[in-house]
A = this chain, B = another copy of it.
Amino acid sequence: MGFCSEQLQRVAPLWQQMLRHPFLLQTRDGTIPRETFATWMQQDYLFVEAAVPFLAALIPKGPAHHWEPMTQAIGALLRELRLFEERAAAVGVQLRGSRPSFTTHAYIQFLLATAERATYEEAYTVLFAAEKAYHESWKVVQLGLSPGSPWQPFVENWAGATFAAYVTYLEGELDALAGDAGPDLLSRMATAFETTVRYEIAFWEMATTGDSWPGIPASGERW
């Protein structure tokens, strides 16, 4: 069994918790409050904007045969930003100027710090875990979303065949990196995998429960 399958099996309880998160189920069923979905759009837009520097910072650390696919992945992220902007305009959500929630801020810092400080193998693990999580999360939504839903383009983006092929490619490459890794590095990669899943859960949770910071009443928010 490859590293990715092993990790998915190891964190299966967390993974399942992620896939049955109310945000996904309510989006699928069309019962998600519009404001909740808007919060997610605003916060995820900030996250995708941070994912571009994350990917770019990986290129200098990776093998030359990863340069072209990683460059294409950056191109895909840039198109994803356009998708957010187009959807936000379509449904009247203000994207720009949002303040990052605590969870968004933390997840972005995690991406940036990982890109700079962790090994390529750990950072690639974060990339795979986050993309795999989005692919499977939006496949959950896909299994019931009304065809006329304004969120269909998100489903098409992350649950679709192109993204599926990208995730499969990442899995193969990550399994290969893990195959060359010693026990210490493998252990750190496993931690990176689980931490990413935890952040993914925290992200859906934040979209649902609001974008506040711990210990600060909403009225104190000014950042």
Contact = CB atoms under 8 A, between A and B. Distances in A.
Contact of A67 (B78, B113, B205, B220): B78
B223 A201 contact: no
- As for how many copies of this chain the complex holds, the number is 4
Given A67-B74, A74-B59, A198-B216, A112 B102 contact: no
Nearest to A110: B109
Contacts of A57: 56-57, 59-60
Contact of A59 (B56, B117, B204): B56
Contacts of A86: none
Interface string A113-149: 1111100000000000000000000000000000000
Contacts of A202: 102, 213-215
Interface stretch (A13-21, A33-41, A156-164, A170-178): A13-21
A16 to B, nearest CB: 10
Given A71-B75, A201-B215, A220 B14 contact: yes
Given A14-B216, A56-B56, A113-B112, A223 B204 contact: no
9 contacts: A57-B57, A68-B78, A105-B110, A109-B113, A109-B114, A112-B116, A113-B113, A195-B223, A206-B214
